[in-house]
Structure 1
Amino acid sequence: NPLWRHAHHTPTRIAVRWGARALSYAELAASVETTASYLRAQGLNPGQPLVVWANKRIETVVVVLAAWVAGLVLVPLHPALRAGQLRSIFARAKAQGIVVDAPHAQALGCTQGSPNHWGYSPTPDGLFKPLPFDAPPINTPARPLPEPPYSGLGSALAALMFTSGSTGQPKGVMVTHANLNTGAAAVSQYLGLTAIDELLAVLPLSFDYGLSQITMALRVGAGITLQDYLLPNDLKKPLIHGGITVLAGTPGLLIPLAQAGWFKDAPALRCITNSGGKLPITSVRALRAAKPAAQLFLMYGLTEAFRASVLDPAEVDTHPDSIGRAFSASVLGLVDDQGTLISEGVEGVGELVQGGPLVTAGYFNDPAATAERYRRPPTGWPNRADERVVFSGDQVRRDAAGRYYFLGRLDEQIKVQGFRISPEEIEQAALRYPGITEALAFGYAPESRPPGILFEPLEPCFIGLVVAPDTVN
C-alpha cells in the first residue's frame, strides 16, 4: 500500500537506482503491477512460494514486490548459493516457481528466455522448465493505478527466509506480512527516516535486514540505491557522490570501511546501522572518529524475530560494547540456567528471550525445530502469558540501566577449570589491545588437538588468533 500511495502523491520521485538506471515511484508501481499480473497468469496462486535467485538489480526489486502484490510467499535466496543448494531449498520450500537472472539461469542449465529474466516451473525430475517470461516492462509510462489486487493480510505468510542453523541444515523462517510491516514501521521511525533519505542497499535481499531496507524505504517514500560490493572501495562512489544518507552494514563491511581513509568524506551520510554480528569496540570508535556527525545505531536481532534491541546513539561513546535496549516493538527478558526469568531491573546473565509482534511464525515444515526454539514464555513474563516467544540461544548480560551486552552463543561455550566461557569474551578482550584488528578464539578437547597446536592440553581450553597490521608484542 505505501508503494501505491507514493506513486499517486509523488509519482516522479526516484524510488530505486541501480548503476545508471533509475525508476520513479510511478514507474516502479506500474512495473510491479504488470509483473504481478504475469505471475498470476502463470497459475501461481496466493499463498504459494516463489523462489527469487538473482543478483541485486532493479528487476529483482520489481519481482520481490510483485510477489507480494500477487499474494505469493517470497523465498529470496543468496545469489552466491550453488545450484545444488538452490534445488534443495526449492524442494524444502515446496516452491511452485522460480525467477532467476541470466547468470543463475546458466547455472541451472537453462538457456531459453529473455536477456534479462527467466521464469521457470519445476518438473517431476527436479529440473526447471522455462516459461515464456519476457522481462517485465521497466520505465513504463506513469498512468492512474488501481488499488492493488492483493494486499498483505496480517498473519498471512509474506516470506520464507532460509537461514542455516548450527547443523548447517537450512531452516525456512516463516515471516508474516504483520512481521514485515511492524518491523519496517518500528525501525524506520527509530532511525528517523523520511522521504528525503537515500538508503544504500548493500546487504543481500536474502538477509532479513537487507530485505527490510526495501520495505523501510518504501514505507516513508525514500530512495534506494542498489549496490553489490567485494571491497570497501566498491562503496566509495555511491557514498561520496550518490547522496547516500543511510548505510546499513554488517561487521564484515563496517570493520574495513572504518579504516578506509576516504570514508570520512562521505558528505551526506547521517546514519549508520550495524546488524548481523557484534561490532568490535575498536571499529565502533573508528567509525565514530571518521564520521562523528553521523549517528551510529548498534543493533541486535535474530532472523526469527527481526530486530530485538538497539543502542541509543547518544550512549555509543560511553557503552560501545552494548547492543542496547529493547525496540519499541520487542519484549525482552533473561532466563537463567534453570529457565527462571530474571526480574526486570535486576542485573544478570542469561539466555535472551524475545516476544512481541516481531516474533515470526516458526520454521516452515519443521515442527520439531519450531517447538525447540519457539515456546511459551517463562513464568512472570512482562507481556502476554499466552504469547509465543523465541529463545535466542544467545548468552547476554543486562546492566542495572537495562542495557544488554552480547556474550556469545550458548552452544559455543566450553567449561574450563569449572567456568563456562564463551569465545566471544576472549575475542573482545584481545580486541581491546591497540593494533589488533581481528581476533578469533575457539575451544578444543585434549583428544582433538588441531594441527599446528604444539602443546597437549590437560583439559578443554581455548586457542586464540589475532590479526594486526603491524608487529605486535
Structure 2
Amino acid sequence: MPHPAVLPLDHLALRGRRDAPALRLRGGTINHEALNLRIGRIASWLLAQGLVAGDRAASWMGKTEIACLMPLAAARAGLVHVPVNPLLKRAQVAHILSDSGARLLIAGKARLGTLEPGDLSDAKAMEEHEAEAALDTGEAMEPSPESRDTDDLAAILYTSGSTGRPKGVMLSHANMWLGALSVAQYLKLSADDVTLAVLPLSFDYGQNQLLSTWAAGGSVAPLDYLTPKDVVKACAKHRVTTLAAVPPLWVQLVEQAWTEEAAAPMRRLTNSGGALTPGLVAKLRGIFPDADLYAMYGLTEAFRSTYLDPALIDGNPTSMGKAIPHAEIMVVAPDGSEAAPDAPGELVHAGPLVAQGYWRDTERTAQRFKPAPAFSRYGGTAVWSGDTVKRGADGLLYFVGRDDAMIKTSGNRVSPQEIEEAADASDAVNESCAMGRKDAALGEAIVLFARGSGDEAALRMHLKATLPNFMQPAEIIWLDQFPKNANGKIDRTALKDQL
C-alpha cells in the first residue's frame, strides 16, 4: 500500500526551519541548523573511533545532548544505535553489550566505573565528555545520500519484557522514519510545538518524542526528573505543549499542584504502556481542559499500533482506538479468520512499521514475526502480539488481556486489567495491580496490590458493586510504593515474587 517517501533516518534533522529551536538544554537552545551540524560532527567522531558501517554503537546515559543526537548521528555514520536505559545495572548492560556485539559504549565516568572485567565484551568504552568535545569543532559529516537503502538496520532497542533476558528488536531506517511521520501526523504536531521528553530515550515511545517532534520541525526539552514536581516546573519553564507518559506517571502527575503557567500551554497529552482509567481521564481533563488526550497502544516490535481520536475518549475512555497511519491492525480469531465484532481475538499488526525481528534470535523471531493473515491488505510479515483484543461495532478496539497474564480462576479467564480498572475507580485506590496466585480450590486466587488510603472495607464494597463474584480479590495487599521497571511501568515480575 502507498506511504510517503522514505528517506534515511538522519534526514529528520533537515525538516525544521534552520533558525527555529530544536533542542532546549540547560546550557541554551540549539536551532535546527545547529542540530544538523552537531549530528554531523558526532557522526564523524564515531567513525574516527574505528567503527565501520553496520557496527553497533551503544549509549548509556541520561537525557544529555549526546544521548539526544545519537539516534541520528549513528544513522548518518551508517552505524546501528543501541540505546541502553540509564536505569539499568551492570548485569543487564553487560548482556546487551554482549548480545548486540557492540563495538563502542559511550557513557559517563560514574556508570563506566560500575562495570566489571568482561562486562564490555568487545566494546570500546568512551567517556561521554570525549564525544562532547567534538560538538563544537571538527569536520561534520554530510547528510546520508537519499539513495541509501532505508531497509538497512538503524537501531536495536532492547525490551525489558516480563520474563527472561532483554531481547533486541531490530528497526530499520524506514521503520523509524515512518514511525516519526505517523505520530507527527495523527498528533497534529507543528513547528511551534515544544515536547517535554520525560520517558527514557531507550524506550521506543520515549525515543519517538524526539523523532516525531523533529519531523514536524518542533523542539524538544529533555528532562531527567527526580520527582513529579520537576515535570510540572519544566512544563512551566519551557511552555510545553506536548507531554507523553505511562499510566503510573500520570497517576503521580495528577496528584501535583499544577499552576496555570504550567498547564495552560498544553495542547496534547499522550498515553501508552497501559490503559487509562475513566477516573484518571477525568482528573486529566480537570487539570488540562483545553488539551487533547491521546490514548495509544504499541509494542516495540511494530513501534505503535493504535490511537484513539481525542474527541472520542470521554465516551470511550478504555478504548485503544484504531490503527495509526501506515499500520494495519487486525483482530484474528483462533482459526485464522477475521474475528467478528465484539469477539475476542489476537491483535496482529502488518505494514511498514513492523520491525525486522529479534537480533540474533531466530527462534523467538519465528514465534512473534509470522506471515500476515490471508485477509490482510498489506500481507508480508506481521507481528502477532499475543494480546487479546476485541473490535466493537463502531470499529474501536478494546484491550482484553495478554494470554500469559490472564488469571484462570473457578473455570473463568479473568483479565487483570478489568480488576485494576475497577479498583482504580475507587476513591480508596490511586494505583493497583492484579495477578493470580496458585490455589488448590480455585486454580488461581486473585491478589490485588493497591496503593491508596488503605480503606479496605470501602474498596471491597466498591468492588462488590462493580465486579462479579468470581472477580473479587481473595487478598488485598497495600503498598506504600509500587516497584517500577526501567520504562516506568509497574514491575509485575517483582510483585509476583512477593507471592
C-alpha displacement of 1:246: 0.6
Instruction: Confirm or deny that 1:174 pairs with 2:181.
Output: no
**Compared CA separation, residues 165 and 152, structure 1 to 2 (3 A):** farther
The 2-side partners of 1:132 and 1:226 are apart by 17
Q: Which residue of 1 aligns with 2:229?
A: 233
Q: Which amino acid aligns with 1:179?
A: N
Change (3 A) 1:132 1:276: closer
- Structure 1 residues 315 and 328 mapped into 2: Cα distance closer, same or farther (>3 Å)? same
Matched, 1:353 2:348: yes
- Which digits, 9 at most, give the CA deviation of each residue in 1:135-187, with x for residues without a partner? 33477499998544688632111100001334221110001111101111111
CA contact (8 A) 1:272 1:294 kept: yes
Q: State the distance in 2 between where 1:212 and 1:229 align.
A: 18
- The 5 A counterparts of 1:88-103 are 88-103=95-110
Deviation for aligned residue 1:428: 1.6
Q: Select which of 19, 24, 37 maps to 1:30.
A: 37
In structure 2, give the amino acid aligned to 1:321.
T
Give the aligned residue type for 1:153.
Answer: D
**1:108 is paired with a residue of what secondary structure?**
coil
Q: Does 1:464 align with 2:448?
A: yes
Amino acid at match of 2:348: V
Matching residue's letter, 1:58: E
- Aligned partner of 1:423 in structure 2 is 416
1:378 corresponds to: 373
Aligned with residue 268 of structure 1, among 238, 256, 265? 265
C-alpha separation between the residues in 1 aligned to 2:79 and 2:399?
36
1:11 and 2:18 are equivalent in the alignment? yes
The one-letter code of the counterpart of 2:311 is A
1:224 aligns with 2:220: yes
Return the alpha-carbon distance in structure 2 between the equivalents of residues 144 and 133 of structure 1: 18
SS in 1 for 2:429: coil
CA contact (8 A) 2:41 2:139 kept: no
Q: Where does residue 462 of structure 2 map in the other structure? A: none
> Normalization by structure 1: what TM-score?
0.87
Compared with structure 1, are the counterparts of its residues 417 and 458 closer, same or farther at alpha carbon in structure 2 (3 Å cutoff)?
A: closer
- Mapped contact 1:55–1:101 kept (Cα < 8 A): no
Which deviations, in whole Å up to 9, do the C-alpha atoms of 1:382-416 show, x marking residues without a partner?
Answer: 3134x111111111122110111112211111322
Q: Could you tell me which residue of structure 1 aligns to residue 496 of structure 2?
A: none
CA distance in 2, matches of 1:324, 1:294: 18
Aligned counterpart, 2:194: 198
Distance in structure 2 (CA, Å) of the matches to 1:71 and 1:426: 47
Which residue of the partner structure matches residue 450 of structure 1? Answer: none
Of residues 279, 304, 307 in structure 1, which corresponds to 2:304?
307
Contact 1:56 1:228 survives alignment (8 Å): yes
Q: Distance in 2 between matches of 1:272 and 1:6?
A: 24
**Aligned-partner Cα distance in 2 for 1:127–1:156:** 22
Give the direction of change, closer, same or farther, for the CA distance of 1:57–1:270 in structure 2 (3 Å limit). Answer: same
Residues 66 and 128 of structure 2 are in contact (CA less than 8 Å); yes or no, is this contact kept in structure 1?
A: no
- CA distance in 2: counterparts of 1:2 and 1:130, whole angstroms: 24
Task: State the alpha-carbon separation in 1 of the partners of residues 15 and 323 from structure 2.
Answer: 36
| 1:183-238 residue CA offsets vs partner (Å, 9 max, x unmatched) | 11111011111111111011111100111111112212111101012321011222
SS at structure 1 position matched to 2:389: strand
Deviations 1:263-301 (Å, cap 9, x if unpaired)? 665221111000122222211111012111000000000
Counterpart residue type for residue 444 of structure 2: P
Give the stretch that moved more between structures: 135-144 or 292-301: 135-144
CA–CA separation in structure 1 for the residues paired with 2:104 and 2:361: 21
Corresponding residue for residue 287 of structure 1:
284
Match of 1:253 in 2: 249
Gaps of 5+ in 2: 1-7, 459-499
Shifted more, 427-436 versus 168-177: the winner is 427-436
What letter matches 1:269 in structure 2?
M
Partner Cα distance (1:80, 1:363) in 2: 22
Query: Which SS does the other structure have where 1:323 is aligned?
Result: strand
SS in 2 for 1:412: coil
Tell me which residue corresponds to 2:473: none
Quick check: 145-154 or 93-102, which moved more? 145-154
Residue 425 of structure 1: how far off its partner (Å): 1.6
- The aligned amino acid for 1:369 is R
Residues 154, 465 of structure 1: CA spacing in aligned structure 2 closer, same or farther, 3 A cutoff?
same
Question: How many angstroms apart in 2 are the aligned matches of 1:127 and 1:278?
Answer: 39
RMSD: 2.8
Superposed displacement of residue 341, structure 1: 2.6
Which residue matches 1:444? Answer: 437
Confirm or deny: 8 A CA contact 1:71 1:151 kept in the other structure.
Answer: no
Separation in 2, partners of 1:241, 1:32: 26
* SS of corresponding position for 2:433: strand
Shift of 1:128: 4.7
Task: Decide which of 315, 318, 321 is 2:318's aligned counterpart.
Answer: 321
- Provide the secondary structure at the position in 1 that maps to 2:387: strand
For 2:376 and 2:95, locate their aligned partners in 1 and report how far apart those are by CA, in whole Å: 40
Q: Counterparts of 2:229 and 2:198 in 1: how far apart (Å)?
A: 13
Aligned length: 449
Identify the residue that residue 183 of structure 1 maps to in structure 2. Answer: 179
Identity, in percent, stands at 36
SS at match of 2:91: helix
Deviations 1:11-69, CA, capped at 9 Å, x for gaps: 33221112243222222222211111121122211111111111111122223321111
